[in-house]
Amino acid sequence: MKRIQLAVLLAMILAPVVFADQITLKNGDRISGTIISADTKALVIKTDYADAVAIKWDFVQQIESSQPLYVGTKGGQVIVGPVTTSDSKLTVATKESGSVAVAKADVTTLRDSDEQKKAEAALDRLQHPHLGDLWGGTFDTGVGLVRGNSDSTNFTFALNAVRASSRDKITLYTDSAFSRSAVNGVTSTTAQSIAGGVRYDLNLGEKAFGFGTLDLFNDRFQDLDLRTVIGAGGGIHAIKSKRTTFDVLFGGTFDREFFTNFNRSSAEILVGESFTHKFLASSAFTESVFFYPNLSSTGNYRSTISLGLVTKLTKLLSWQTTFNDYDLSDPPPGKKSNDMLLSTGLRLSFGGAGK
């Protein structure tokens, strides 16, 4: 009877050790607890004495798990079962196929059941998002004031919102400029324009995509009450990396313009490119050029050029400088063909766009 009681007592004492996950580091230290997750950089283990501890993946020598773990590999395979290690390999004791060996260098993720459920839910949300999901973007403002012999107020505003999934991308944008000055008691508006639009991109492969656009533009001092442009075409992600993207686009548009004294419609070719490069951890440069040769009035064209430089101040706030040039080769009589806008000010990021 005493032997049975002793055996039960020992089992109760050793149970936390026997049924705990354990990792052994290259220096010989051992840590017991519950393995939560791992990637190519770090392994996270939850302990009773230090809560969750992140260990650099390169320092992990051995793993022994009592619980089933979900092992993700470079080939996209997920293998499930308790894990042990030997000779730089992970051995997964699966129910279906028995022991499966995976080279440590080929392991991309390691998750317990709770973390795997979270990862699968996040992936499903990315692949099948609701219309209100995944939005992020930026809000820019710029203000200039002059007071004294003359009073001048300049204001610029821009909003860019993007909803990107693994299948498609929706982009909404608007930007405007307003300027008013007063000299010798006479107040006048010297600039007033607003542009906005939406673009839908559908991924057709790893590099190719199709797109559709709707753009609206108003410029009071070019006598342009409204320009409506509907376009469609295709493009190629010529460069697509974490730091640099470069897209080339080609398509066609239908342009309907309502000026103060006349209206006109045009069919156009669309040729364009957009470039983004993060050259520092906190700074990024953007550039885009779109050219629209007129098919209805040969020799005429429209073009837009945009340049931007952003420096991050905090996670959500940045300082931005932007330059936009709008060129119309055949403006109304007495009006200039070019409108240029240079603005600088604060940028507020939302929905994860500042990460």
Q: What is the CATH number of the domain that holds 209?
A: 2.40.160.40
Residues 123 and 262 in one domain: no
Helix, coil or strand: residue 114:
helix
Q: How many CB atoms lie within 10 A of CB 115?
A: 18
Tally the C-alpha atoms within 13 A of residue 143's C-alpha that lie toward its C-beta: 2
For residues 221 and 200, membership in a common domain is answered with yes
Q: Does 160 lie in the same domain as 98?
A: no
Q: Which of 197, 260, 183 is nearest to 229 (CA)?
A: 197
Residues 120 and 141 in one domain: no
Residues 295, 167, single domain; the answer is: yes
pLDDT tens-place string over residues 298-350: 999 999 999 999 999 998 999 999 999 999 999 999 898 988 888 889 999 99
On whether residue 15 sits in a domain, the answer given is yes
Cα separation of 24 and 43, whole Å? 12
Residue 237 · residue 209 · CB < 8 Å: yes
**In a shared domain, residues 244 and 315:** yes
- 205 with 240, same domain: the answer is yes
* 297 is a domain residue: yes
**Alpha helical stretches, state H, 101-203:** 113-127
Name the domain boundary from 71, 104, 127.
Answer: 127
pLDDT of residue 16: 43
β-pairing verdict for 244-259 and 263-280: antiparallel
Residue 100 is part of which domain span?
A: 2-127
* Residue 142 CB burial class (10 angstroms; 0-12, 13-18, ≥19): buried
- Predicted confidence at residue 12, as pLDDT, reads 45
pLDDT for position 341:
84
Query: What does the pLDDT read at residue 150?
Result: 65
Number of structural domains the chain divides into? 2
As a 3-state breakdown, the chain gives helix, strand, coil percent values, each rounded to 5, of 10, 65, 25
pLDDT on residue 149: 66
Cα 177 from Cα 194, distance rounded (Å)? 7
Residue 319 lies in a domain: yes
Q: 95 lies in a domain?
A: yes
| 111 CB-near residues (< 8 Å, 6+ apart) | 36, 37, 38, 69, 70, 72, 119
Q: Are 46 and 88 in contact (CB under 8 A)?
A: no
Same domain, 171 and 41: no
- Same domain, yes or no, for 192 and 325? yes
Domain final residue pick, 108, 127, 146: 127
Run of H or E residues at 172:
strand 168-183
- If asked whether residues 148 and 75 sit together in one domain, one would say no
Spatial distance between the Cα atoms of 280 and 333, rounded to a whole number of angstroms: 46
Structural domain includes residue 286: yes
In whole angstroms, what is the distance from residue 175 CA to residue 202 CA? Answer: 24
Would you say residue 355 lies in a domain?
A: no
Enumerate residue ranges in the chain where pLDDT < 70. 1-19, 148-150, 352-355
Q: Cβ distance 180 to 190 under 8 Å?
A: yes
Residues 122 and 146 in one domain: no
Cβ atoms of 94 and 80 within 8 Å: the answer is yes
Q: How many CB atoms lie within 10 A of CB 140?
A: 22
Characterize the bridge pairing of strands 208-219 and 51-56: unpaired
Last residue of a domain, one of 83, 99, 127: 127
| Any domain includes 181 | yes
Q: For position 9, what pLDDT does the model report? A: 46
Please report which residue ranges of the chain form alpha helices under DSSP H: 2-18, 113-127
Domain membership of residue 38 (yes or no) is yes
Do 223 and 311 fall within a single domain?
A: yes
Supply the pLDDT for residue 19: 54
